[in-house]
Amino acid sequence: MPKLKHLEFKFYTGTARQHYSMGIKHLDSLEKVVFRCSEYYTSDSPGIRETIDVLRKEAVEHPQEITLWVNDKPEVFGNRARKSEGLGLDIEKEFEEWEKQIERRATEIAAVKERIREQRLRLSTAAEGRAQRDKNNARAGIEKEIQERKSKLEIREQRLREEERYYNIK
């Protein structure tokens, strides 16, 4: 509900006025109600238990099938729940589907992680190979430069010997 601007809870000790639309039965498209309590408020404390009981009563009267989750324990109310005569059947199927989806997603995530690891390994191997080639090329370039300087020095030495012979300098 990132765009929710106003959320209001009203708790009354008596019945609400008839003209005032209250409760979940007026939310026609509602399918799920999640009621979570922190460790400081337990779902079996009197005020909270009464609130949950009212939610259950209204969920039974609701035109849609309502799944009421109280501290991660689901209860189904409405048409399909009455047809199945067992509140846990649909929920168990839903849980099984969720578990299968979670397993599939976990497998997909593991496969993606493995592909990423392999790609990183290939990239690092390629980078190491490139670095070694660059190092070898640099070494080859240095050796070539040394050979060129050596040949120039040999040529210069040979010219100096020729000049020496020409001028008979010893």
CB-based contact 164:170 (threshold 8 Å): yes
Q: Binning pLDDT at 50, 70 and 90, where does residue 83 land?
A: very low
Question: CA 78 to CA 31: how far, in whole Å?
Answer: 10
Query: Tens digits of per-residue pLDDT, 13-48?
Result: 555 555 556 677 777 777 787 777 766 666 667 777
Reported for 39-48, long-range contacts at CB under 8 A and 24+ positions apart, including other chains, are 43/70, 43/71, 47/11
Whether the predicted model's global pTM rises above the 0.85 cut: no
What integer pLDDT is reported at residue 101 of this predicted model? 92
Beta partners for residue 68, in sequence order: 33, 75
Q: Give me the DSSP letters along 86-123.
A: -HHHHHHHHHHHHHHHHHHHHHHHHHHHHHHHHHHHHH
Q: Binning pLDDT at 50, 70 and 90, where does residue 52 land?
A: confident
pLDDT for residue 86 is more than 60: no
Query: Tens digits of per-residue pLDDT, 64-73?
Result: 888 887 777 8
Query: Tens digits of per-residue pLDDT, 124-142?
Result: 888 888 888 888 888 888 8
Residue identified by tokens 């070694």 is: 132
What integer pLDDT is reported at residue 103 of this predicted model? 92
Which structure tokens are listed for 148? 């060129």
